Chain A
């Protein structure tokens, strides 16, 4: 493109690039000098063992499980309590240093990359489960607590926290990305299940979004600050505590698998099951490519057609009713007979295909990495978007088995791509954009669960429109005027 410019324009463009380069280098040097100045302050606040400049540590904290390359911070700090987080944030604020909160590093959109360097706040030392109230169905946890650790802690109480993204993620991190899981269709996502947050703002101020220690099941008091921070991906503040809504462990569970002759039949069954009011707990869709991969990987022999994996929760009697209603519906849509299971071991075997989907996809092309797309559309649009997407995959010659939470209209293409092939990476990138735009055209969203992070900022603008983006930018400017909180994520500033 540069060669298409006239010589004088080329010169201007070159000068502009050089100025930009010089500005970035200047920025880097200024920032590095600032970091040196603050190191002793950091060490005083959280102890010198909890401040790390080591290259390996910084690299660990500059990447997550996405395909975005590592962008290491300048220094990693490991605060042990909210007072230390606040003090460290004040120091960063005074020296204009970017702050990047880090939970478990299991994000899928490059949210922890330190694109402008700065200080990574690794919150893993804050790992206490506080204030469990079993009769009120709530618990408060610190950022170092993961969802599996919480459920292990709760196992004697008859309660659990059902939101289950693939990774064993930090619960506060899940709040920051508004995570969701396979049973959102019954239990909701983080948006519905976070009751209160303790947040440290960019200047060190500590706030409680619903008031300190408060945990009423519902409220209409003031602006909904809690849900402002849920999904803010570290760009508005550091979440240091989250109060979560708990649920009773289901008395009994039944899992079932059903094959269909077409995507339409499978999705129609889903819509009808939901319409009859069956409180289905999980309803997962795997396309024929995915099933084939699972058969090969786990030595199973499911028929290679679109398949639904279903799970029902409830008392013994209600399960009978739920299963029989669902089976009637699937059979009327030419679904196969249910393969179903009651006890834990058989259920796990039945669902093994779904659980191993990620690995099965990668095993299709050994040596390749998998990248998961993540769009969500209204249920009625699901058959059309899946059919169009499969056509696109064929035409672009890409490997992309599909697995999805059809109960929410959300599905993932697990793009298997050779990380050393820039052409292929580019093709996948273009495919993902086409997919997102396809979803937007159907009244959907460019990200159902994974967040905006680094890669979907432009799509966010298309999704909500410039006026809403202005409002978001206004909120960001008001809470973080110096743009120190995880810069370069969610909102673009017209630069990188």
Chain B
């Protein structure tokens, strides 16, 4: 067993930013807007680093797909304790249309190339909320998956995963190699400290192109329009119960 963990980290608009739709409704404003690592990816990195600190895995490799700026996201993962990074260069139109299917093909190819034992991803990205990449990656590799993980325990060559599901918690045991996706309560990610940020500058980030991995980035999806959610309408005050019933009947709700 290689003892190598691959962690996917995505660069997204920071969760605290007020999102604005572009005037031409083709997307949201990203220029000059603060970006940072997807919060669920932070949890994934933290889990991988914890496994390494417990000496259950040997190496943590952070992977990001995107333009030049994705390297900053990888650096943050390195500052949190990842050993090295892989930047898969995707820019321009390819980046605009990059989605879970393409990313999962990339992750699958890298998993084979790097002989990864475990892939940990965030359960979903806060910009598209797809919640698909982990599942697709597992399917492409024909690996078991432990998604929505709120607790992960390595047990020999198996992994026990406690999953958050609608009905409560489900515990499963899966073989390695496997794909895990991190849910909110898996851990509390550490802050990057200055000494670690400085050390991270010396860690290596390899540059790879999707074509080198034999991945075709063509998307089968086309975004037609992006709109704001409808503005909340003002409420109405009525004087009597009869008025209320009348208004409800008028609107066809009763």
Q: B-contacting residues of A (Cβ < 8 Å)?
A: 149, 152-153, 155-160, 248-251, 315, 344-345
Residue in B36, B76, B192 whose beta carbon sits within 8 Å of that of A249 in the complex: B192
Q: Mark B169-209, 1 if CB is under 8 A from A, else 0.
A: 00000000000000000001011111111000000000000
Asked whether A158 lies within 8 Å of B16 as measured between CB atoms, the reply is: no
Q: Is B37 in contact with chain A by the CB < 8 A criterion?
A: yes
| Chain B residues, Cβ within 8 Å of A149 | 16
Q: Do A251 and B188 form a contact, CB below 8 Å, given A153-B16, A156-B36?
A: no
What are 7 A-B contacts defined by CB distance under 8 Å?
A: A152-B16, A153-B14, A156-B37, A156-B192, A158-B197, A248-B194, A249-B192
| Chain B residues, Cβ within 8 Å of A249 | 191-194
Q: Is B79 in contact with chain A by the CB < 8 A criterion?
A: yes
CA distance A315 to B199 in the complex (A): 15
| Chain B residues, Cβ within 8 Å of A159 | 194
Q: A-contacting residues of B (Cβ < 8 Å)?
A: 14, 16, 34, 36-37, 76, 79, 188, 190-197
Q: Do A158 and B79 form a contact, CB below 8 Å, given A248-B193, A249-B194, A251-B193?
A: yes
In the complex, how many angstroms separate the beta carbon of B69 from the nearest chain A beta carbon?
A: 13
Q: Do A158 and B192 form a contact, CB below 8 Å, given A152-B16, A153-B16, A153-B34?
A: yes
CA distance A250 to B195 in the complex (A): 10
In the complex, how many angstroms separate the beta carbon of A470 from the nearest chain B beta carbon?
A: 46
The chain A residue sitting closest to B192, CB to CB, is: A158
Residue in B34, B188, B193 whose beta carbon sits within 8 Å of that of A158 in the complex: B193
In the complex, how many angstroms separate the beta carbon of B166 from the nearest chain A beta carbon?
A: 25
The 3 closest A-B pairs by CB, nearest first: A158-B194, A248-B194, A158-B197
The chain B residue sitting closest to A137, CB to CB, is: B194
CA distance A315 to B194 in the complex (A): 11
In the complex, how many angstroms separate the beta carbon of B225 from the nearest chain A beta carbon?
A: 28
Given A153-B34, A158-B192, A160-B191, 15 more A-B residue pairs with CB atoms under 8 Å apart are: A153-B14, A156-B36, A156-B37, A156-B76, A156-B192, A157-B192, A158-B191, A158-B194, A158-B196, A158-B197, A159-B194, A249-B192, A249-B194, A251-B193, A344-B188
| Chain B residues, Cβ within 8 Å of A248 | 193-194
CA distance A159 to B191 in the complex (A): 9
| Chain B residues, Cβ within 8 Å of A158 | 79, 191-194, 196-197
CA distance A345 to B188 in the complex (A): 8
CA distance A345 to B197 in the complex (A): 23
The chain B residue sitting closest to A247, CB to CB, is: B194
In the complex, how many angstroms separate the beta carbon of A94 from the nearest chain B beta carbon?
A: 35
| Chain A residues, Cβ within 8 Å of B190 | 344
CA distance A234 to B43 in the complex (A): 42
In the complex, how many angstroms separate the beta carbon of B17 from the nearest chain A beta carbon?
A: 10
The chain A residue sitting closest to B16, CB to CB, is: A152
In the complex, how many angstroms separate the beta carbon of A396 from the nearest chain B beta carbon?
A: 43
| Chain A residues, Cβ within 8 Å of B34 | 153
In the complex, how many angstroms separate the beta carbon of B246 from the nearest chain A beta carbon?
A: 27
CA distance A173 to B34 in the complex (A): 25
| Chain A residues, Cβ within 8 Å of B193 | 158, 248-251
The chain A residue sitting closest to B34, CB to CB, is: A153
Residue in A155, A156, A160, A345 whose Cβ sees the most chain B Cβ within 10 Å: A156
The chain A residue sitting closest to B79, CB to CB, is: A158
CA distance A344 to B193 in the complex (A): 15
| Chain A residues, Cβ within 8 Å of B36 | 155-156
| Chain A residues, Cβ within 8 Å of B192 | 155-158, 249
